[in-house]
């Protein structure tokens, strides 16, 4: 079933809740791929009514060009899901009607990494995620680990705003060559697609160097140099951080996560792995 109005969706959810069903939400911006399907599959394990939202949220884009070029494939998305769950596909006017003036502001976790390079991005993300959680009232919401910083911020939003939902993290799905699945991958040229898996390979090498005793700053510097030699640039960041606080790693701190963002032509790729 496809829902485009908030009121109709809420009535359907209320009916399912009255029948005792658990509600699961998978928020997306469309251009669905197997990574999104894996989130749906995870949701189906514990929820009888799964809702996939498809909404390209203009408030989390820093560049109007990037917003204009973001892939929109609604017909293909509907076909890929093949009726296995409910779809919520609101318009911009539905989510942000005339006179809308409220936003969720993020700090702390949102100030570094992506936040430093994309000012305002996480406020836009936090606003739309909070709206989707309050519109659907799910028991569980499912997010991929590929957007690791986003995942930690969503967890903080739920904690700080006392939202009654369980945030479920799902592993990053990758192509056989290691490239993390992403809607943006379809914008890569043929030559860029051949280079793109090196992002993950270099990150693995960097993580191994840190694990086996190389000084962290030296390992990160070598990783950035390897990115440049492979054809990436500019490199926004390659950082070793505490996995939960996202603060720079300190001696003895754990668990650790390696996070990276780099351009390949006009496409900006992000990834993260466990150290």
Q: According to the model, what pLDDT value does residue 257 have? A: 98
- Two structure tokens written together for 207: 């993580």
Q: According to the model, what pLDDT value does residue 252 have? A: 77
Residue 106 lies in a domain: yes
Number of domains forming the structure of the chain = 2
Domain of 117, CATH number, reads: 3.40.50.620
Taking CA atoms, 261 is separated from 10, 113, 199, 245, 264, in Å, by: 38, 8, 9, 18, 10
Residue 71 lies in a domain: yes
Q: Are residues 143 and 7 in the same domain?
A: yes
Residue 175 lies in a domain: no
Q: According to the model, what pLDDT value does residue 253 have? A: 82
Residue 75 lies in a domain: yes
Domain of 208, CATH number, reads: 3.30.1300.10
Choose the catalytic residue: 36, 49, 121, 200. Answer: 36
Residue 165 lies in a domain: yes
Is 242 known to be catalytic?
no
The answer to whether the predicted template modeling score (pTM) of the entire model surpasses 0.75 is yes
Q: Are residues 26 and 115 in the same domain?
A: yes
Q: Are residues 123 and 18 in the same domain?
A: yes
Asked if the peptide bond before residue 255 counts as cis, ω within 30 degrees of 0, the response is yes
Q: Are residues 188 and 267 in the same domain?
A: yes
Consecutive 10-residue runs of the chain (275 residues): their mean pLDDT?
Answer: 98 98 98 96 98 97 91 96 96 98 95 96 98 98 98 98 98 97 95 98 98 96 98 97 94 91 96 97
Tokens 């990783």 belong to residue? 223
Domain containing 56 equals 2-170
Q: According to the model, what pLDDT value does residue 198 have? A: 98
């Amino acid at each position: 079933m496809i829902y485009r109005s908030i009121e109709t969706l809420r009535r359907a959810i209320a009916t399912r809740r009255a029948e005792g069903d658990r509600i699961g939400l998978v928020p997306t911006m469309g251009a669905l791929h197997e990574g999104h399907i894996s989130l749906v599959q995870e949701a189906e394990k514990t929820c009888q009514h799964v809702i996939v939202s498809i909404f390209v949220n203009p408030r989390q884009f820093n560049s109007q060009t990037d917003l204009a070029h973001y892939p929109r494939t609604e017909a293909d998305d509907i076909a890929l899901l093949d009726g296995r769950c409910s779809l919520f596909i609101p318009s911009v006017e539905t989510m942000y009607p005339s006179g809308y003036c409220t936003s969720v502001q993020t700090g702390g976790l949102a100030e570094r990494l992506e936040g430093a390079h994309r000012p305002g991005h996480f406020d836009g993300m936090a606003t739309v995620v909070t709206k989707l959680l309050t519109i659907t009232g799910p028991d569980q919401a499912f997010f991929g680990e590929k957007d690791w910083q986003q995942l930690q911020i969503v967890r903080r939003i739920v904690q700080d705003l006392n939202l009654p939902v369980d945030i479920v993290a799902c592993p990053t799905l990758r192509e056989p060559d290691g490239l993390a699945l992403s809607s943006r991958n379809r914008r890569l040229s043929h030559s860029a697609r051949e280079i793109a898996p090196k992002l993950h390979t270099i990150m693995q090498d960097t993580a191994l160097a840190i694990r086996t005793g190389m000084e962290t700053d030296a390992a990160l510097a070598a990783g950035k140099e390897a990115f440049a030699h492979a054809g990436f640039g500019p490199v926004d960041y390659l950082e070793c951080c505490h996995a939960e606080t996202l603060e720079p790693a300190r001696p003895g701190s754990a668990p650790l996560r390696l996070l990276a963002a780099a351009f390949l032509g006009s496409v900006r790729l992000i990834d993260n792995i466990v150290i």
